[in-house]
Chains A and B, each alone.
Chain A
Amino acid sequence: MQMVKNRWLKIGSEVLVLASLFTLVQYLIAANLLSQYLQINLTSMCINIILAVSLSLINGFTGQLSLGHAGFMAVGAYVAVIMTNMLDQPFIIGILAGCLAAALAGFIIGVPTLRLKGDYLAIATLAFGEIIRVTLQNIDYVNGPAGIMGIPKLTTWPWLFGGTVLTVLVIVNLVNSSYGRAIVSIREDEIASELMGINTTKYKVLAFVIGAMFAGLGGVLYAHYFYIIKPETFNFLKSFDILVMVVLGGLGSTTGAIIAAIFITAITAALQSFPAIRMILYALILIIVMIYRPQGLMGNKELSTKIFGRIWSGRNELNGNK
């Protein structure tokens, strides 16, 4: 009974925190208390969280190094913009179409490439990401290298918040399910988990497709906030950006990825006028983290409400309550 009660208490408190966060920002935006600059950074932050958490499912939990995440982002962004901007569909159709297209791209790319391992897989995904970009550059319907301008600004705070929460919820629950245990076992030892009867290809593709789908969601939200999309935006440096967040946060930690995404967005905003310094800093982060703490800052630990929960139950026991 106690456990069930605690569980509901935990869910209840989480919902409460999220709802108040949402209402607070919504109020600040509605009352014009949040400057344009802060709003843009808030948007980038949410999009980066979506991208980092979805990549951390592939790189961190499944242990399959993918360097083509920006490619899936591009697929989602372009398909959604075609829906909303060119075919005049509502935003929700754009989101669904973008996510589905990105998931489909993830499936098409994942099935053949996930047979490869380690560095070969990294290079193949990098190559696929670049192929997506070059293909977009050569399609006249989406204006080739010039990209699409004048995209309506449909990404509002509720969409952004909903998208971020949905991504985190789905991925956290997936990782904690039996699917998640199979996925993590592939990271720990692929041959051993295959011997235990786990269909490794199936779970790798599953993780890859879900990761790609949420990268697509990130792309959709990005396109409908920043007015313009170009194939060049989604080159492999963008994939490396996302990789830096995942590596910094810890390979196999969702909260780590979220914290790192927030931190990196803040650094990016602070160093906006010095892009070269920002990239040098990223490079040093990658090298130093890998040499001194290859599991990332958080490792595979999660920052959770359990810590608070433990303090709570400790006090209850002291008072003699059961």
Chain B
Amino acid sequence: MHEFTQQIVNGLSLGAIYALIALGYTMVYGIIKLINFAHGDIMMVGAFVGYFSLTLLGTNIFVAMVTAMLTCAVLGVLIEKIAYRPLRNSTRIAALITAIGVSLFLEYTVIFLLGPSQKVFPASAFPLKAYNVGGLSILNKDVFVFVSAVVLMLILQYIIKWTKTGKAMRAVSLDREAALLMGISVDKTISITFAIGSALAAAAGVMVGVYYNTVNPLMGIIPGLKAFVAAVLGGIGIIPGAMVGGFVMGILETMVSGYGNSLYRDAVAFGVLILILLIKPSGIFGEDTGEKV
């Protein structure tokens, strides 16, 4: 039982990272019905901005995180403007293929500029400490990841529930044309959605750097896919669903690594995805909608 609780504690910080990335997927899907394949790679760019902020500028970890978030917010808006906006009225497959293209473009531009090797996240930026709480060993990096993720999610909830921008986002995701008729600037709202989603991914990227101690140009692929699974698990397009899905995926993954074969932990994530898609494609919190001709 003790080990089980320990695994859950370990899984919470990983789950928080997945939840942050999954939020970006879900928000973008909710508003333009596009699986933003490049989302994991925006996280990777965020991790690299954080890395350079720590090593070249010598900032502390919080400044690094904010820098990464701002940079990626701009990047996300640019990607939407250049690649996705011209395709807004074309088929979903065309948009999906473009998203794959953007993803490859980000990965290999970073490889081209910085080389394919991984870089070690400076340990001095975050000296490790272990606390002992009721027999459970808790690392300060786990606390850092978990607390900052929860703070970011609370801010997001506030924006979406209580601000005018949030109201506009909900309106556009419900019915784009009706929102347009009510005088909401749809383009601006979509840009803001991309900015917020990408900023959350960038924060997650810095957290991944702290959590695994390394960053590399292809680091976004697998966490990106797992976060996508988390978003689908919770019901894609539904914000609380993404949070729950993220934590479930994180805990599940630590359990599989802890009790079974760690080589299988990637396969488990995809197995979960296939199960949800086959049993309830709308996810835990989703409602089944009939198909209209």
Contact = CB atoms under 8 A, between A and B. Distances in A.
Interface stretch (B102-110, B124-132, B137-145, B179-187): B102-110
A286 B35 contact: no
Interface in A42-80: 63, 65
Interface stretch (B53-61, B148-156, B241-249, B264-272): B264-272
Nearest to B291: A191
A279 to B, nearest CB: 4
A277 B273 contact: no
B188 interface: no
Interface in A114-152: 115-116, 118-120, 122-124, 126-128, 130-131, 134-135, 137-138
A21 interface: no
A284 B101 contact: yes
Contacts of B281: 116, 120
Interface stretch (A12-20, A96-104, A287-295): A287-295
Interface in B79-100: 83, 86-87, 90-98, 100
B267 to A, nearest CB: 4
Contacts of A116: 277, 281
Contacts of B123: none
Contacts of A113: 274, 277-278
A191 B293 contact: yes
Contacts of B270: 127-128, 130-131, 134
B264 A123 contact: no
Interface string B155-176: 0000000000000000000000
Contact of B104 (A127, A130, A283): A283
B27 to A, nearest CB: 16
B112 interface: yes
A126 B277 CA distance: 13
A157 interface: no
B257 to A, nearest CB: 14
Chain B contact residues: helix, strand, loop or mixed: helix
A280 interface: yes
Contacts of B267: 130-131, 134-135
A287 B83 contact: yes
B261 interface: yes
A107 interface: no
A131 B274 CA distance: 10
A280 B293 CA distance: 39
Contact of A127 (B94, B108, B274): B274
Q: Which of B34, B108, B229, B293 has the most CB of A within 10 A?
A: B108
A280 B108 contact: yes
Given A131-B271, A135-B267, A280-B108, A123 B35 contact: yes
B133 interface: no
B97 A286 contact: yes
A291 B274 contact: no
Contacts of A83: none
A135 B116 CA distance: 26
A123 B273 contact: yes
A283 B97 contact: no
Given A65-B93, A280-B108, A128 B101 contact: no
B9 to A, nearest CB: 27
A260 to B, nearest CB: 14
Given A128-B270, A240-B104, A290-B87, A112 B278 contact: yes
Nearest to B271: A131
A276 interface: yes
A291 B91 CA distance: 11
Q: Which of A63, A65, A123 has the most CB of B within 10 A?
A: A123
Q: Which of B95, B112, B229, B277 has the most CB of A within 10 A?
A: B277
A283 B261 contact: no
B277 A130 contact: no
B263 interface: yes
Nearest to B101: A286
A291 B98 contact: yes
B217 to A, nearest CB: 9
B111 interface: yes
B228 interface: yes
Contacts of B229: 127
Nearest to A191: B293
Interface string A263-295: 000000000000011011011111100110010
B273 A127 contact: yes
Contacts of A206: none
7 contacts: A118-B92, A131-B267, A137-B263, A283-B105, A286-B98, A287-B98, A290-B94
Given A130-B267, A131-B267, 18 more contacts: A118-B96, A120-B277, A123-B35, A123-B277, A127-B225, A134-B263, A138-B264, A240-B100, A247-B97, A277-B108, A279-B104, A280-B108, A283-B104, A286-B98, A286-B104, A290-B97, A291-B83, A291-B87
The 7 closest A-B pairs by CB, nearest first: A286-B101, A283-B105, A127-B270, A279-B108, A283-B104, A276-B112, A287-B101
